[in-house]
Structure 1
């Protein structure tokens, strides 16, 4: 995990301490099931429950000799209990019965943390969308002024994108929240399937329907793809904020602390560093998505090529995604909106943003389409080149309209709105 991009609630889930605590929980549940089946003495459970999860430092110490993390964990755990009980721990299980079942629980909890952050981001977007529903600004396509829109309409679109990402994450959570306690190569040859059913039920996990000793890695790939798409949606928001913060635009501004310094050389600088960070983190998430796909294919019933990758991939992807989502909500919640600058941007083209309204007016008046288009385009070129009022340029082309100033065009122009009722539902 990258400390700078890791928040406490997600860091805890991927800590060695939490992992070993979860291992102990799985082992105790498996033994409870074995006791129910009459295969293990009931007294073993008392000793297992009395033993604490081993310290990571102790596991590392043993691993220097054993060169196997699960065996080292089991050694560190069972050395706290009498041999008469220690020998029953992990009965009939293989290493990844423990590792993957614990991992399924951890990933499910990590999804819950990320979903909570995503819902907050969605709420902030909806709240600010309603706040600026009538804050008129210029829409841009290809980076060029198009027609008027509103800042609220823009934010509403982003809120729906985040909602779609949340829906994908919910499905991905279901996919990864599974476990397996099926023994070597997943055939249940030395362990009763009832043990698996009991363990997974107690942990709130599904059961891998056809295990090959490990949980299928396409499940993890599905999760990281969903995480990467959420990251890309946040990147889209952040990229827009970066563009709107350019000096010549300044329609929005990230809020700064008093001590903020944007440049070591240029004191006047106020850079969109928060938004830029969000875009950079999205690139990391896309890289993790590719790594997750590489992990899907394993040799035969399993190999270990995926193990080292997952130890980096899963903690990093989930912590980075969580940090990015939380940071995006903070930036948007505190974002300063400049309606006057938005108005200035609209006025900058002297009415050109309403050329389509004039075109439709001519078509409705019976003018042939190509003739109407070329006439409006000719007037638009004069306005763009000489800064002439668009209404006056239209008059020179012999086009009579109901408006003569940019403000008139804006009053007569119907601003596009998203479906308010659907947006309100997102706020519920």
Structure 2
């Protein structure tokens, strides 16, 4: 089918295929899909014409015809993609088709399509528009995650659980404290993403960034276009790519913050730990071979995004080195990874808000893992008590030896200590105090209260 504004084929998105939603967010994917990008490019063309008419650069009648054609346009995105190969970007064929269709209505107006602009002006500005819409959704998802984490932290501020260091049992904490740690990462990522989005700006420089075609009207024209599109006004940034770097880094941080939560949920959902589980929705996380399994699939999908995003951030950072006044290849290298990062961040946010809203906290199991088989985590408290009677090295040695015996034999550390040199220094009351988790719970709960109080 030849490209035409009357094409009946729908504009497709790159994320609606077999694997596109793993993970994905329908709202974000709609905002960044091919249809949205073409629509944004056309909107920029129409807005440019309107602003140029308002400043006297082109006739108002030409701007009106361009706006009418843009409103009626339904270009075939697949045809546009194929046509883009010859020019290296989709703006060249899009401007050609738009000019053709404007000429069909008013030959004189066709001369004013894409007047004074270059392909990068249109595509960069369009990418800012779709990024803004996608980021708004992602910020909403992060706000939802933060609210859920605040609730979890408050509810479980004193829920005793195992603190783990370098993959090993360490010392008691509370689940509320863990939730507060997750919350800090999400809040920081949200703030950084919001700051990056505040720099989304119109790109308007012409072929080499001089704005020569618009003469003295250029400042007013740029301000008018920026205002109409809801973007910041800025000097041309054809080769100054800090906006893209800021956005990429912020999106990477978002995915990493959510991935931290996902990784913990996956680990704590293991059968032999059993402290957390995702909501047991019908069919969610099922296995094709093992009926008993309920995989933490939401967290697994978030973790998959976490593993993909660093390479995309790296690509965009590498592509930020632009040559001369318009880059050969570096600009082109940005388009796909930028949209993919938005897709992954959106999917991670949607999945994690679902995980947190249905997260099942097995508080009894958490406590049992501390007071039962996890009793060795009180070793540090016992060593501190022993240091009142012997030097630090001897105290550490006594408790380390007892911990090895407890772990290898399956006995509790308390029982082993009663048969060790520690019994000559510590009374039953001393051991009771050392194995009492109250101090650990109180310390963690204070941090939860302090953190949540400072946040509001």
State the TM-score, normalized to the length of structure 2: 0.84
**Aligned partner of residue 76 in structure 2, secondary structure:** helix
Equivalent residues in 2 for 1:159-170 (5 A)? 159-170=183-194
Secondary structure in structure 2 of the residue aligned to 1:56 = coil
- Other-structure match for 1:382: 405
| Pairing 1:2–2:18 present | no
The alpha carbon displacement at 1:308 in A equals 4.7
Would you say the 8 A contact 1:180–1:208 is kept in 2?
A: yes
Give the deviation of 1:389 after TM superposition.
Answer: 4.0
Asked if the contact 1:351–1:409 (Cα under 8 Å) also holds between the matched residues in 2, the reply is no
Matching residue within 38, 59, 62 for 2:56: 38
1:57 aligns with 76
Deviations 1:250-294 (A, max 9, x none): 111122223357333322222233322211111111121111122
Q: Confirm whether residue 199 of structure 1 aligns to residue 217 of structure 2.
A: no
Structure 2 match to 1:123: 147
Match of 2:275 among 225, 248, 251: 251
Q: Is 2:443 the partner of 1:416?
A: yes
Partner of residue 106, structure 1: 130
Distance 1:319 1:288, change over 3 A: same
> What is the alpha-carbon distance in structure 2 between the residues aligned to residue 64 and residue 21 of structure 1?
17
Inter-partner Cα distance in structure 2 for 1:386 and 1:149:
25
Pair 403,263 (structure 1): closer, same or farther in 2 beyond 3 Å: farther
Q: What aligned pairs does 1:279-428 form with structure 2 within 5 A after superposition?
A: 279-306=303-330, 308-349=332-373, 351-363=375-387, 365=388, 367-396=390-419, 397=421, 398-401=424-427, 402-404=429-431, 409-411=436-438, 413-417=440-444, 418-424=447-453, 426=455
Distance 1:209 1:393, change over 3 A: same
Q: Distance in 2 between matches of 1:149 and 1:354?
A: 11
CA distance change for structure 1 residues 147 and 128 in 2, over 3 Å: closer, same or farther?
Answer: same
Preserved CA contact (<8 Å) 2:125 2:202: yes
- Listed one character per residue, the Cα deviations across residues 221-268 of structure 1 (whole Å, up to 9, x for unaligned) are 221122112212222111111111112111111222233573333222
Separation (CA, whole Å) in 1 of partners of 2:224 and 2:64: 19
Task: Say if 1:40 and 1:88, in contact at 8 Å, map to a contact too.
Answer: yes
Q: Please give the root-mean-square deviation of Cα atoms over the aligned residues, in Å.
A: 2.7
In the alignment, is the contact (CA less than 8 A) between 1:20 and 1:54 conserved in 2? no
Given that 1:138 and 1:147 are in contact with CA atoms closer than 8 Å, whether structure 2 keeps it comes out as yes
CA distance in 2, matches of 1:64, 1:19: 16
Matched-pair contact (CA < 8 Å) for 1:136–1:148: yes
1:23 maps onto 2:33 in alignment:
no
Say how many residue pairs are matched: 423
> In structure 2, what is the equivalent of residue 209 of structure 1?
235
Per-residue Cα deviation, 1:157-181 (whole angstroms, up to 9, x for no partner): 0000111111211222133x01222
Structure 1: gaps of 5 or more residues: none
The CA distance in 2 between the partners of 1:108 and 1:40, in whole Å, is: 29
Is 2:381–2:434's contact at 8 Å kept on the other side of the alignment? Answer: no
Q: Do the aligned partners of 2:301 and 2:351 also contact (CA within 8 Å) in 1? A: no
Residue 318 (structure 1) shift: 0.4
Mean CA deviation greater in 198-207 or 152-161: 198-207
Tell whether the 8 Å contact from 1:253 to 1:335 is kept in structure 2 after alignment. Answer: yes
| Contact 1:133–1:152 (Cα < 8 Å) also in 2 | yes
Following the alignment from structure 1 to structure 2, what is the Cα–Cα distance between the partners of residues 108 and 232? Answer: 21
